[in-house]
Amino acid sequence: MVVSERSISHETLIETFAGRFDQHARQDFKWRIDHAISQGYRFVVLNMVAVSFVDSAALGWLVLAQRRFYRIGGKMCIIAPAGFVRDILELTEIGEWIPIFGSEAEAVQALNLLSPSSTSSSS
């Protein structure tokens, strides 16, 4: 899994995944979540538009990561296009715990509404 990240504010980070999100991606995913939290990010957008496959282990890691963000008053959300990955996310009802959006703009707007600092800055 190839990952890149982009900070859009002192509280919000976008992690972009490409390829397979499976058992082989565990260490990288865990490190990125740990790093985001240690750097003070409370809101993380997981852009999974270029992810071609997701397995059950990865679904579990998503839920665990969301729980970590809830504990610090934050939230994670996912961007997923129509197709296999979106179908899996919907079939497993991951959207009950982690909001799923069709675009980066929708996800960032939703997270900005949660951030107390969003009222003092314009996007």
pLDDT in tens, the chain (123 residues): 778 999 999 999 999 999 999 999 989 999 999 999 999 999 999 999 999 999 999 999 999 999 999 999 999 999 998 899 999 999 999 999 999 999 999 999 888 776 665 444 444
Residue 22 to residue 97: CA distance in whole angstroms = 20
Domain harbouring 27, CATH code: 3.30.750.24
What pLDDT score was predicted for residue 118? 47
pTM: 0.87
- 22 lies in which domain range? 2-119
Residue 78 to residue 99: CA distance in whole angstroms = 6
Count the domains in the chain: 1
The CA–CA distances, whole Å, from 96 to 37, 57, 117 equal: 22, 18, 26
Task: Tell me the longest C-alpha to C-alpha distance in the chain.
Answer: 41
Residue 38 to residue 77: CA distance in whole angstroms = 18
